[in-house]
Amino acid sequence: MDNLSVEHLTGIKDLTRNDIELIFKTADSFKEVINRPIKKVPSLRDITIANLFFENSTRTRLSFELAEKRLSADVINFSASSSSVKKGETLIDTVNNILAMKVDMVVMRHPNPGAAKFLSERIGAKVVNAGDGTHEHPTQALLDAFSIRERLGSVEGKKVVIVGDILHSRVALSNIYCLQKLGAEVMVCGPTTLIPKYIHELGVKVEHNLRAALEWCDVANMLRIQLERQEIKYFPSLREYSMQFGLTKEILDSLSKEIIVMHPGPINRGVEITSDVADSKQSVILQQVENGVAIRMAVIYLLASKIDR
Amino acid sequence: MEKQTILNTRHFELTLNRLCYELIETHSDFSNTVLIGLQPRGINVVKRLKIQLEAILKKEIVCGNLDITFYRDDFRRREKSIIPSTTNIDFVIENKNVVLIDDVLYTGRTIRSGLDALLAFGRPNKVELLTLIDRRFQRDLPIQANYVGKAIDTLLSERVSVEWKEIEGEDKIVLYTPENNG
C-alpha cells in the first residue's frame, strides 16, 4: 500500500523515484485491463474530470479522455478554440467557472510554461499537466520511460539520447528528469542553436553528431521540429536539418548494435525520421501510444485516491 | 494478542482433500469448469487445489488469478491506495462454470467486487464460491459460499490468518484475538 508524494502532477521534477515506480506498477495492471474484452473498471465512477486544452492536441487529448473513460469517470472537454478565452476571460476565471460545476480533477494543456503549477496553487481540484508550453509534459515522459522498461526490462543504467529541438521541447525536459531519476544516462543531440546553453548543468551529455550519439545509446528518442514555436530560423532549411539529424534506415543498420527508436508524435516523416525507420521493428512508437493510456489511467487513479470525500 | 489454531497441518490437508472431492462431485471431470483465485491470498488455495485435483483426475485443471483492486467499493475511503496484484486469466470464461476461490470469506465485499471483475472476461454459465474459512454471521452483503472448508464464529476485532507451507513455513489456520477483548 502506498501513495504518491504529490497532490498534483505538474511536472516530473516534483516526483520521487518511488512515485514513478508506483505509477509504473499501477500502469502494469491497467495495461492488462485495457487488453481485456471489456476494457473498463468502475474505480472512478463518482469522479468528474475536465480536460482543458488551451493548445492543440490530438493524441494526448484522446489518450487522456480514453484513460478517464476506462476508469469510469465522467468527462467534460473544453478547447480554447471554441471557448470564452477568446472573449478575454482569465485562466483562473475560466477554471473556477468549470469547478463551480463540481469538477474533481483538471487535465490541462496550456501554451504558458508554469500554467499547471500556477493553477494547482489556486484551485481545490487535482491538476494534471498535459503539457505547459516549453516546460514539462510529465505523462509523456512517464510513458516513454515505461516503454523503455517494457522493452529492455529496466531503465536503470540504460543510455538514452534525445535528438532534435531540445530548446522548445517540454518532452525533452520531462524525459531528462524522469530518466535520470530512474538511473539512466541521458544525452541530447541536435543543432547548436536548438540545444539550451546551460543544459549540461542538468547532468546530460551534449553531442552534435547524430552518428556518434546513436553509437553511444541504447534508445534514441527522436523529437519533432516544432516550427510553430520557432519565431526565428534556427537552421537554414528542413532539408539540411534532415540530412544532419534525420534518422534513416541506412544509419540504423550501420550501427554496431540494435537500438530502440522512440518518437512522441506527431511524426514528420522524412524530416526527423524516415518512414522505413518509423515502421521498423526497432520502433516502439505505437507501443508508446498504447502505454500512454495505461500510464494516464495510473496517474489519474493514484491522484483520485487522494481526493477528499 | 491471543493465538488459537483453528486448523492444524493435518486437518488443513484433510479439509483441502474434502473440498477437492466436493468439487469433483459437482463438476465431475472439470471439462467445462475453471478455478479462479482472488488476489492476493486466494491464489494460494487455487495452487494447492490444482495440484490435488490434477493428481486425482489425472488431467490439467484450468486456473486463473483475478485482481479486484479496481472494483473495490472502498476506493477513496481508505487512507492509502492499494497496489494492485496481477490478473492472469488467459482463457475465455464465456459459458464456463467458474469457481471463485478465496481463503477467508468475511464481509462478502471482496466477492462482490470479484463478481464485477469477473464479468469483464465474459458471461459465465455459472459462478460458485469456495472458501477455506467462512467467518459466518459477519456478512455485510447477501453472499454465501457453495463450498466451505470450515465455518467459524468470530468477533469483529478478531483476525483470521491462513498460513501456507510455501510462504509461512507451515500449513495452518490461526485465529488472533486482542487481549482486552470484552
Domain boundaries, chain B: 9-74+85-155
Integer Cα distance of A166 and A114 in angstroms: 18
**Size of chain A in residues:** 309
Q: Which residues contact A232 (CB under 8 A, 6 or more apart)?
A: none
A101 and A117, same structural domain? yes
Edge-to-edge, what's the strand order for the sheet holding B147-153? B62-66, B33-38, B97-105, B126-136, B147-153
Which CATH number is A32's domain given? 3.40.50.1370
A206 and A80, same structural domain? no
Question: Which of A8, A70, A137, A296 is an active site residue?
Answer: A137
B80–A25: do the CB atoms touch at under 8 Å?
Answer: no
Q: Which residues contact A104 (CB under 8 A, 6 or more apart)?
A: A47, A48, A49, A125, A126, A304, A307
| Residues A307, A104 contacting (CB under 8 angstroms) | yes
A72 vs chain B: nearest CA distance in angstroms?
A: 11
pLDDT tens figures, A13-37: 999 999 999 999 999 999 999 998 8
User: Would an 8 Å CB–CB cutoff place B116 in contact with chain A?
Assistant: yes
Q: What is the mean pLDDT of chain A?
A: 92
Q: Does residue A248 have an active-site annotation?
A: no
Residues forming beta bridges with residue B159, ordered by sequence position: B176
Single-letter code of the amino acid located at B126 = K
Q: Which residues contact B2 (CB under 8 A, 6 or more apart)?
A: B176, B177, B178, B179, B181
Q: Tell which residue, A240, A228, A145, has the closest CA to residue A190.
A: A240
Structural domain span for residue A97: 12-137+289-304
A143 and A279, same structural domain? yes
A304–B76: do the CB atoms touch at under 8 Å?
Answer: yes
User: Would an 8 Å CB–CB cutoff place B70 in contact with chain A?
Assistant: yes
| Domain annotation covers residue A5 | no
| Domain annotation covers residue A6 | no
Helices A285-304 and A59-70, packing angle to 10 deg? 50
pLDDT tens figures, A95-111: 888 888 889 999 999 99
pLDDT tens figures, B25-76: 999 989 999 999 998 899 999 999 999 999 999 999 999 999 999 998 888 8
In chain A, where do the E strands start and end? 48-53, 74-79, 105-110, 126-132, 159-163, 185-189, 205-207, 219-222, 260-262
Q: Is the pLDDT of residue A82 over 70?
A: no
Give the 3-state secondary structure of residue A286: helix
Least confident of A161-170, A207-216, A226-235, A283-292: A226-235
Q: Which residues contact B39 (CB under 8 A, 6 or more apart)?
A: B65, B66, B67, B68, B69, B84, B85, B86, B87
Q: Which of A7, A33, A70, A308 to mutate to test the interface with B (most CBs of B within 10 A)?
A: A33
B82 vs chain A: nearest CA distance in angstroms?
A: 5
Which among B71, B77, B122 is the nearest to A42, CB-wise?
B71
Output the pLDDT for position A228.
76
A258 and A164, same structural domain? yes
CA A24 to chain centre: 14
| Domain annotation covers residue A250 | yes
A148 and A264, same structural domain? yes
Percent of chain B at pLDDT > 70 equals: 99
Q: Which of B36, B73, B76 to mutate to test the interface with A (most CBs of A within 10 A)?
A: B76
Percent of chain A at pLDDT > 70 equals: 98
How many distinct structural domains can be found in chain A?
2
A167 and A132, same structural domain? no
A155 and A99, same structural domain? no
Using alpha carbons, list the distances in angstroms from residue A255 to A155, A215, A248: 21, 6, 11
Question: B82: pLDDT confidence band, cut at 50, 70 and 90?
Answer: confident
Q: What are phi and psi of B163, to 5 degrees?
A: -110, 145
| Residues B121, B93 contacting (CB under 8 angstroms) | yes
Question: B2: pLDDT confidence band, cut at 50, 70 and 90?
Answer: confident
| Domain annotation covers residue A187 | yes
Which among B80, B86, B121 is the nearest to A37, CB-wise?
B121
| Domain annotation covers residue A3 | no
Question: Which of A70, A109, A117, A135 is an active site residue?
Answer: A109
Output the pLDDT for position A86.
66
State chain A's maximal CA–CA distance in angstroms: 58
CATH 3.40.50.2020 is held by the domain B9-74+85-155: yes
Output the pLDDT for position A294.
97
pLDDT tens figures, A122-149: 888 999 999 999 999 999 999 999 999 9
Q: Does residue A109 have an active-site annotation?
A: yes
Question: A92: pLDDT confidence band, cut at 50, 70 and 90?
Answer: confident
